[in-house]
Chain A
Amino acid sequence: MTGHDIGKDKAKQLQLYKIIIFGAATTFLFIKGHYYPPSFYSQWQPISFYRLLDQPLPPGLLRFFEWGWFILSMATALSCLKAPQYFRALAKVASIFAVIYLGHDYNFGTIYHGTQLYLGVLLILAFAPMNKKEEQQQYFHDRWHIPLIKFFITFMLFGAGMQKLVKGGLSWVFSDALFIKLALLPSHTWAATQLLQAPLWVFEFLAFIILFGVQLSAPLALFHRTIGIGYFILWSCFHLGATYIFSVGSTFYSQIFCYSLFLPLYALTYKGRSKSQN
């Protein structure tokens, strides 16, 4: 395989990834929905730039941003296939709409950690500059976004582990911390109920796997494609497990879409390419 082929693979990888993020991940989050209970307006406690607002955005305007985010994201995903010259402009508006709508949810200006990776990736794809130092054809100028997003994902996971160490030290692992977190949930799934009966070492083992296996070692995924695929599976299992045991909700599945950059997505196009070459 020549350097040019590798370059084309990377371009294809990024194109498919953009479609997954703006198309599939957005559709998932849109269909899943973000609901605003009636108490939303009476509990208005803005933080960050939301302090500039006297009150939350009215429901009609929120709905406008919600639909705007969805429609523009679909258009952005389509542009990857049909009109790549419009991708950046569409992606910028779509990602701003997404930040306004999803940032308004939950914490009045704080991005909920279930959607923060999706938003981070959206913003990088929309706003990361083109690398003009890349002398090859123009469509190679954004291929540095692949390592950038991979760094971002692993850094986010590593950061989550670091945060645990900074806050709780190793006692996060070698104590009943994880048991307490599970025990204090407002309600328990069947799996959680079973787990609560388990000996303490089971919780310590799980905490160890989460902290060291899933989070602190995440940067290892950058070092080899196969390791990256392995981490994609591990991180996905982690989110599935967290949903079924910790009832954290399926919003975190949006992160699985983001992790897909570690899969060789470009390989999906091999069949078509080999046919056209023949």
Chain B
Amino acid sequence: MMSFKMIPLFFNSLDLKSKIFFVLIFIAYASQIIFQREDWPLTKLSLFSGGRFETFNLCKISIQYERGGKSIDPLLLGSDKFFIIGSLEAMMCTKDPTINEVSTFLHQNITPILVRNQVPLSGVIKVKRRYWKELVYGNFDSPEVDEIILSETPQGER
């Protein structure tokens, strides 16, 4: 069983170089909690983002790919999700793009993923946009503005 007394003992058992290394990495890391500088490489510290800052953006986009009446899920993972949904949210929640603009974006970004994942290009992509003026527990199922569904077929469908 380790006790608090062992911490200084451990620290004293280190040579100067090791002590400096130890202190430096913890100061560097702690500074991320306190200052959260956005330009430092290890800035994404939390396992889930803290607070509720994401709720300031109450317009959300979801993308579904359906084929033969069945939805293929998940269509987007990892950095694909990060970039494509993020970009589409920026496009559809801050501007009012035409269906053609959204369609072009989808062709350029989703089709290569379907090809890469060997998903047959014969489905329908559905983009949903949901809005809430204020989102709290209880009104999740009733967005203030109705969902908008844009149906697009990926390039290559005949």
Contacts and interface: CB of A to CB of B under 8 A. Distances in A.
A133 B77 contact: no
B44 A116 contact: yes
B133 interface: no
Interface stretch (B56-64, B96-104, B149-157): B56-64
Given A183-B135, A186-B61, A251-B78, A159 B30 contact: yes
A37 B30 contact: no
Given A40-B83, A43-B83, A184-B135, 7 more contacts: A37-B80, A37-B112, A152-B25, A155-B26, A164-B50, A167-B50, A167-B53
A265 interface: no
B85 to A, nearest CB: 5
Contacts of B74: 187, 247
A162 B51 CA distance: 11
A48 B39 contact: yes
Interface residues of B, number: 64
A179 interface: yes
B22 A39 contact: no
Contacts, number: 188
B44 A133 contact: no
10 contacts: A37-B83, A37-B113, A48-B39, A110-B38, A129-B15, A131-B13, A180-B52, A187-B62, A249-B77, A252-B47
A203 B43 CA distance: 27
Contact of A186 (B3, B85, B140): B85
A223 B79 contact: no
A38 B79 CA distance: 11
Interface stretch (A87-95, A101-109, A256-264): A101-109
Given A35-B78, A35-B116, A38-B109, A203 B137 contact: yes
A71 interface: no
Which among A43, A107, A184 has the highest number of chain B CB atoms within 10 Å? A184
B15 A39 contact: no
A133 B47 contact: no
Contacts of A252: 47
Nearest to B14: A131
A20 interface: no
A224 B63 CA distance: 47
Contacts of A157: 47
A159 B14 contact: no
B62 to A, nearest CB: 4
Contacts of A167: 50-51, 53
A187 B73 contact: yes
A113 B44 CA distance: 5
Given A113-B45, A113-B47, A183 B140 contact: yes
A55 interface: no
B18 A128 contact: yes
Contacts of A172: 50-52
Interface in A177-207: 177, 179-181, 183-184, 186-187, 196, 200, 203
Nearest to A235: B47
Contact of B13 (A144, A151, A196, A247): A144
A119 B35 CA distance: 21
A233 interface: no
B63 to A, nearest CB: 7
A144 B61 CA distance: 48
A191 to B, nearest CB: 13
Contacts of B60: 184, 186
Contacts of A183: 135, 140
A38 B54 contact: no
Given A110-B41, A249-B78, A215 B2 contact: no
A15 to B, nearest CB: 19
A144 B45 contact: no
A144 B21 CA distance: 12
A249 B85 CA distance: 15
B13 A223 contact: no
A168 interface: yes
